[in-house]
Amino acid sequence: MWYFLRGDDENMTSLMFYNMAILAAIAVVSAVILYFTAKKFKTESNVLAQEIAEILPQANCGACGSAGCQDFANRCAKATSEDFKGLYCPVGGKNVMTKVAAKLGFDVQSHEPMVAVLHCNGTCDNAPDKVEYTGLKSCRLANRVFVGKTGCPNGCLRMGDCVANCPFGALEIDKKTGLPKVDEKKCTACGNCVKICPRGLFEIRPVGKDGIRVYVACKNTQKGALARKNCKAACIGCMKCAKICGDVKIENNLSDIPACVDALQYGEMLAQGCPTGAIVYTGKINNE
Amino acid sequence: MSKIKTFHVGGIHPDKFKISSEAAISDAPLPQTAVIPVRQHIGAPAKILVKKGDFVKVGSLIADADGIISADVHSSVSGEVIKVEDGETSGGYFEKMITIRVEGDEWEESIDRNPEINREITLSSEEIINIIRQSGVVGMGGAGFPTPVKVDVPEGKKVDCLIINGIECEPYLTADDRLMQECAEQIVIGAKILNKALGIQKAIIAVDENKQKAIENLRKITRSYVGVNVEVCDTKYPQGAEKQLIAAVTGREVPPGCLPIDVNCVVQNAGTAFAVYEAVQKKKPLFERIVTVSGDGIENPMNLRVRIGTPASDLIKLCRPKSDIGKIIFGGPMMGTAVINADAPITKTTSGVLLMEEKSVFVPEEGACIRCATCVNVCPQGLEPYAIAEFTRNGEYQEAKKIHVLDCIECGCCSYSCPARISLLDYCKLAKYEIRKKK
């Protein structure tokens, strides 16, 4: 073999020829091996599912109830028109679902746009800190250890587990209020904050007409006096809101305004009628 | 002298601060109103038997055990029940409590108040377990596991060794130490009673070697009791933890996820042994316990015999607190919990009330992990707290479970010794909660 290395032109050419021949031979052998292995270990891949997956947002947040976007795409590809009604990607919303439906030839389901709302108004002003907490900054741990800095057993712990867990960066702790604030533009209603909050303070609600909605920002079920001791904005179950609108239910000293209540009609009245300010109305309030 | 025993994985040597070890046990004055929670143990809360307006005596049954893992609750004072509703616990949450306005001090007639020691054990095993159950005895060390459940050995399990845990490895606390100095014979009889209930002959009283007086006392008394031995253990934290104690005394290791009964051992606290003695020999249910009131924020540290339901603030006033208190702790400084409500009642499991000065509770800011592995060295369970913390931070609880976070005994050695002051124990606790929640 060493004669290749002598360096004259003729041998140089043969060196190149040999190299190319050997590489070509390896390529042919590998191609044959690959061809047969690919045949032998072929996996069923659904072209349709692949195409649907490409449309999806690929956030893998699990909001649709499937284990990620690929799983959702597989379910879509297998779905009948009946099954498809139950499938919805809240992150992609109507845009994405129209495209998916077009691929499958089904009708698109109309889903109301949703957003996460926080059922607590225990801001730094309304519910001032009473004690110091020096442990790990985690709501879920603090919830096990004690009642919280504010003293409210149902209120926000203001340590931001939801913020750390939001896959879309739609939550941040408002420095003024201390409470997590939902960025409506970024929120996709995936429901991760609902799952992580140890006190269940988040709810996924319809955005409402022009983003106007009304809800009770309190989860405290204690009696009025006890609830007000810790937080100025606590719901005391005074029944005032129930008199304004018949759909409002009061249970365990806590009012609940269901999403079906028309915010445009009642919202302003409810918010102004609440003596503690536990009812939040996202529209404008006319103060005349 | 026999050789000093200890466990061989991890452990730390915190300063002892046993400033109250010379203070003899004294009776705390009766409270004006006693607030008795119906859940003072692990398991289901007891069912309330009294209503507003009822008159109860000291030792009357006021709440009945609900299920197997539960315990009876007895009145610790005599007087009128004025409230049966939610009361504030030490953590600020609300739980069912029975409030009694104290009138006089009238005891149930069945209780034997003669101070003479009753040495004769006449009852059978079942009778003893029954009496322990009816007396509401729970583990007095801190966890509050109902004692009858532990003593009633399930079928197919064998017990050959009863260990009486006289090790008080937490700094400051001296309640068990004083009890062993003053009531050593009752504890030994309590051990014999537990022996009989378990149907075995052997009992070991384990004491750490900084309690010389208690050791001398117990050695003197155990000479006349066959089968009860005193074993001296090293002064090391957490020597008093169940699994570490078994490792030290018997050399057996409790496998992950198993209980002491799986290695044929039963561990009972010295305070529990005393409560068993009182329940069986004196017909006295568990309604009072020894509480150490101590800490660097206290001028006059004391060991008090306190009725269950006494507000902690009463005891604190009695022991003269200093002016700048930063933290009040129920239990020891290592495993106890900081409380936000000083009026919370003393329960069956409150072994100490500690007041710490503002300057000594300063928590420095958390630094970055430098991978020094100090936490791995000190962990008595042989875990890797730094790795658990890393997984927990990323929300990978299943990974944390794979490295046995569920075997963590929450002793706090890792947080105590971390040079970066990372609250490693908090991460371990969070991981445990999350894993248990997902089940």
CA distances from A163 to A35, A113, A193, B99, B294 (A): 50, 21, 8, 42, 41
- pLDDT of residue A6 exceeding 60: no
The average pLDDT across B355-375 equals 91
pLDDT for residue B435? 93
CB contact under 8 A, A141 and B433: yes
CB contact under 8 A, A147 and B337: no
Nearest CA distance, B106 vs chain A (angstrom): 35
* A interface with B, Cβ–Cβ below 8 Å: 130-131, 134-136, 138, 140-141, 144-148, 151, 153, 165, 222
Strands B203-208 and B228-233: parallel
The whole-model pTM stands at 0.85
Which of B91, B92, B423 is the closest to A136 by Cβ?
Answer: B423
3-state SS of B210-224 is: CCHHHHHHHHHHHCC
pLDDT for residue A288? 45
Asked if the C-beta of B420 comes within 8 angstroms of chain A's C-beta atoms, the answer is no
Q: Do residues A55 and A96 lie in contact, with contact meaning Cβ atoms separated by under 8 Å?
A: yes
pLDDT in tens, B188-246: 999 999 999 999 999 999 999 899 999 999 999 999 998 999 999 999 999 999 999 99
Residues B285, B282: Cα–Cα separation, whole Å:
9
Domains of chain A: 45-104 (1.10.15.40), 114-281 (3.30.70.20)
Res. A4 pLDDT band, cuts 50 70 90: low
Nearest CA distance, A286 vs chain B (angstrom): 40
CB contact under 8 A, B91 and A145: yes
CA distances from B90 to A147, B173, B175 (A): 9, 19, 20
Q: Which of A129, A137, A141, A150 to mutate to test the interface with B (most CBs of B within 10 A)?
A: A141
List chain B residues with CB under 8 Å of A253: none
Residues B61, B112: Cα–Cα separation, whole Å:
16
Cα–Cα–Cα angle for A49, A50, A53, rounded to 5 degrees: 85
Predicted ipTM of the assembly: 0.86
Nearest CA distance, B341 vs chain A (angstrom): 10
The average pLDDT across A161-179 equals 91
CB contact under 8 A, B337 and A145: yes
Residues B335, B330: Cα–Cα separation, whole Å:
9
pLDDT in tens, B45-74: 999 999 999 999 999 999 999 888 999 999
The average pLDDT across B97-125 equals 91
What is chain B's length? Answer: 439
pLDDT for residue A110? 72
User: Six-digit token pair at B374?
Assistant: 């100090």
A-facing residues of B in 389-418 (CB < 8 A) are 395
pLDDT for residue B1? 45
Nearest CA distance, A101 vs chain B (angstrom): 35
CB contact under 8 A, A147 and B92: yes
List chain B residues with CB under 8 Å of A153: 92-94
Q: Is B197 exposed, middle or buried (0-12, 13-18, 19+ CB in 10 A)?
A: buried
pLDDT in tens, B125-167: 999 999 999 999 999 988 889 999 999 888 888 999 999 999 9
Which of A130, A140, A147 is the closest to B91 by Cβ?
Answer: A147
- Would you list the DSSP string of B296-326? TTBSS-EEEEEETT-BHHHHHHHT-B-S-EE
b/e map of B395-414 (b: 16 or more CB within 10 Å)? eebebbbeeebebbbebbbb
Answer positive or negative: Cα dihedral of B171, B172, B173, B174. Answer: positive
**Average of per-residue pLDDT values in chain B:** 92
Strands B25-27 and B302-307: parallel
Q: Which of B426, B427, B438 to mutate to test the interface with A (most CBs of A within 10 A)?
A: B426
- pLDDT of residue B124 exceeding 80: yes
Q: Which of A130, A147, A223, A229 to mutate to test the interface with B (most CBs of B within 10 A)?
A: A147
Enumerate the H helices of B152-269 as residue ranges. 175-182, 184-198, 212-222, 242-250
CB contact under 8 A, B92 and A136: no
User: Six-digit token pair at B12?
Assistant: 């730390």
pLDDT for residue A105? 82
- pLDDT of residue A111 exceeding 80: no
Q: Do residues A228 and A276 lie in contact, with contact meaning Cβ atoms separated by under 8 Å?
A: yes
CB contact under 8 A, B426 and A146: no
CB contact under 8 A, B426 and A130: no
pLDDT for residue B50? 93
